[in-house]
Amino acid sequence: MKRAVILAGGEGTRLRPYTTVLPKPLMPIGDRPVLDIVVRQLKAHGFERITMATGYLAELIEAFFGDGSEYGLQIDYYREREPLGTVGALALIDGLAEQHTLVMNGDVLTDIDYGGLLEQHSASDATATIATKTRHIEVSLGVLHFAEHGDSTRLTGYEEKPAIDFPASMGVYCFAPSALEHIRAGERLEFPDLILRLIGAGEVVRAWPSDAYWLDIGRHDDYEQAQQEFAAVRERLIPGQ
């Protein structure tokens, strides 16, 4: 059984004031919440069970999705009584030590192949696999370069508004059961800290580069872009809808 865990407990502080009345995963994109899109995508990719880790305004998320029967899959919940960071809840969710699991943020808008990602991860030697997307960032300032070896005042170069490309995490991951051995039950733990903990322990962490459409709805700029583009990319995101 393909299983996914959706991390949907954050307060969505970057999207305030919108998220003062709605949890971030229920923020509308076009005519439906972003998390509704994600659930439909996971169903289309063969996932049969979804566990939502909820916290902030959890009752709204739980009321919206119920037991998942309207989507044709099983949805259950782990409600955080206190914030556990982005991955701390994984140590307390039943059954994750029994299989490879896809774990993702509840505010991701993408047409990534979720099923293909989990299958490739499961067949590999990786304890964790991170889906990545190359992002092009333009720096709106002049950037200075100084002499090395301790000379902090001698200028050696100047770049006006440089641009860089870098691989960014898409907020979609896969974990082997052994990854849970590195999370202490009840501890607050963020995803980057878990990855560094795995690397430090000699575990294999791999990237899954993707050229899929991807926006982080937790960012104001990405949220506005999603609203503008949704009609054009709707069929890619939720085929048949």
Q: Which domains does the chain have, with CATH numbers?
A: 2-132+168-237 (3.90.550.10)
pLDDT digits over 148-158, tens only?
776 677 888 89
Query: Per-residue pLDDT tens for 71-95?
Result: 999 999 999 888 888 899 999 999 9
Give the residue among 92, 111, 101 at the shortest CA–CA distance from 53. 92
- Encoded amino acid at 141, one letter: L
User: Which residues, in sequence order, are CB contacts of 240 under 8 Å at separation 6+?
Assistant: none
Q: What residues in the chain have per-residue pLDDT under 70?
A: 10-21, 150-151, 241
- Averaged pLDDT of the chain: 90
What secondary structure, in 3-state letters, does 85-127 show?
A: CCCHHHHHCCCHHHCCEEEEECCEEECCCHHHHHHHHHCCCCC
Cβ partners under 8 Å of residue 69, min gap 6: none
